[in-house]
Structure 1
């Protein structure tokens, strides 16, 4: 297949590019020029630069014409704090932009497409009583992203939705600092003791995400949602591995849920006072997500994608070793 990856120089897009090439597909991509591409990036991949969020649809159709398949691997994640009401921001950046791209892909006669989405959409279906989409604008817009893409693709495009959990891995030559540096290392490196909820999450390596992307493109079923993962790991174990690798061993203490409900209320009040918007509501983040085990059950899937599993702990170590080089 001739595959076009939107975001092919990014963390996941880069590894997907390698996997497509490994399976002898032809790959082209568009990305923003935020890093210098060295010898580490495959020379056989055609790279163009541009901003999908501001691109006219006519230009998109021209860009996608002649390709068989599309991977959509861009968009803000749940860490983003927009400068405007969060639903408005995420709806535009996730749902509406994806809709415009898939309308263009339809006109360009793309046959198959994979969208990188979030495992929060899976948990919204699995735990309706949590009302995740109602409480969190980011989750609502991830659900809308999939719906809009499927609708825009119509009968022309077989669209597969990959719902991704926590992802670990690195890029070569320290091209990008792993996101975990700002999320966990920088936040907790000066703490002697880390107090954290008792929950945990499904986690996966970026290499296995890449395998799942390619398998979904080759064998996925039209309009199917695929939630993927390698292993279920508690926050305590994850943080222990992280800081042991970082060289600052810390005691991680899991506190009961009621304490973090108070923490969530205080954080939400502070964010509102500072007029900082969040895609994940602070209070409900602690009450419904971080204090629970967000573990996927592969048996819930109608059909499992073919990708390797395991090695998450080793990938966490490698990720944090790379984080140290960005200090």
Structure 2
């Protein structure tokens, strides 16, 4: 199979490229740097997109979106412009060029939006709304597209690390006391994500695929993180109020400045205090990827 990987120079994309080549597929990469096609997909013309798709059999979209960066209100048009429109145009070009399989790297929040509609995630968080629209509109092109619903992803690809890892790494190495809220998260290695994506391409799957190696409370995760950086210590429970109040204040400060982010801090506090766990698990240990991410 010939596969185009958009975002192929990033953490997840690089692992997807590696797994596909191990399985004998021919891979072409697209990214803003260090790729076969150096292109900003948000600026690419339909002609450019179709040209890149010509002769391919499958396509993987693995480009990253920053949901936390505050922007002037309303953020929805900006988020849609970077999350939904390029994805829809890319998969439409793939369909027009006769590709038979696609994979979209999404978010596990869309999984929880399906499972818990009472949480009203798409009403409260622009980022999650755009993730849902991204998947729906990409599939409306008619191409079979598997959506890999990603939790926190661990691992390394050269100098590429998870975009959120830096502050946690510095915190764990500082020797400062560690505190964790009461909830937890699913977690997965970039390698497991890549293998799930490769399997989905082979099957021409149009499924929603939440993926997790392990489900961890925040306390368990931070304890293992501290050990990984060589500074093991006790992680104490953070009172719920100590999570809710700063996030409510953050929301008020953003509003006062005419700003908002892709996730609403006031409502996001409840997600942080909830066990956002996925079943079934892959059965793989997260430890190697965690240690890769947070080396001593």
The question of whether the paired residues in 2 share the 8 Å contact of 1:192 and 1:251 is answered with no
The question of whether the paired residues in 2 share the 8 Å contact of 1:19 and 1:211 is answered with yes
The question of whether the paired residues in 1 share the 8 Å contact of 2:172 and 2:231 is answered with no
Deviation of the 1:180 alpha carbon? 3.7
In the alignment, which residue of structure 1 is the partner of 2:9? Answer: 9
In the alignment, which residue of structure 2 is the partner of 1:291? Answer: 273
TM-score calculated relative to the size of structure 2 = 0.93
2:46 is equivalent to residue 31 of structure 1: no
Deviation of the 1:63 alpha carbon? 1.3
The question of whether the paired residues in 2 share the 8 Å contact of 1:30 and 1:49 is answered with yes
In the alignment, which residue of structure 2 is the partner of 1:241? Answer: 224
In the alignment, which residue of structure 2 is the partner of 1:228? Answer: 211
Structure 1 regions of 5+ residues with no counterpart? 38-45, 300-307
Deviation of the 1:188 alpha carbon? 6.1
In the alignment, which residue of structure 2 is the partner of 1:213? Answer: 197
2:289 is equivalent to residue 312 of structure 1: no
Other structure's SS at 1:52 match: coil
Count of residue pairs brought into register by the alignment:
296
In 2, the alpha carbon distance for the partners of 1:291 and 1:220 equals 36
In 2, the alpha carbon distance for the partners of 1:209 and 1:6 equals 15
In the alignment, which residue of structure 1 is the partner of 2:45? Answer: 56
In 2, the alpha carbon distance for the partners of 1:2 and 1:210 equals 16
CA-to-aligned-CA distance 1:102-126 (integer Å, 9 cap, x gap): 2211221111101000000000111
In the alignment, which residue of structure 2 is the partner of 1:70? Answer: 59
Other structure's SS at 1:198 match: coil
Q: Say if 1:79 and 1:243 are closer, same or farther in 2 by CA, change over 3 A.
A: farther
Other structure's SS at 1:147 match: helix
In the alignment, which residue of structure 1 is the partner of 2:131? Answer: 142
In the alignment, which residue of structure 2 is the partner of 1:86? Answer: 75
In 1, the alpha carbon distance for the partners of 2:42 and 2:102 equals 19
How big is the alpha-carbon RMSD for the aligned residues of Structure 1 and Structure 2? 2.0
Q: Say if 1:142 and 1:13 are closer, same or farther in 2 by CA, change over 3 A.
A: same
**Could you list the runs of 4 or more consecutive aligned residues of structure 1 that deviate by over 6 angstroms after TM superposition?**
none
Other structure's SS at 2:186 match: strand
In the alignment, which residue of structure 2 is the partner of 1:132? Answer: 121
In 2, the alpha carbon distance for the partners of 1:207 and 1:176 equals 13
Other structure's SS at 1:114 match: strand
Q: Which deviates more from structure 2 when the two are superposed, residues 62-71 or residues 269-278?
A: 269-278
Given candidates 94, 97, 113, the residue that maps to 2:86 is 97
CA-to-aligned-CA distance 1:30-85 (integer Å, 9 cap, x gap): 1112xxx5xxxxxxxx7121110111111111111111101011141433434553
Structure 2 regions of 5+ residues with no counterpart? none
Q: Say if 1:315 and 1:177 are closer, same or farther in 2 by CA, change over 3 A.
A: closer
Deviation of the 1:20 alpha carbon? 0.5
Other structure's SS at 2:262 match: coil
Deviation of the 1:128 alpha carbon? 1.1
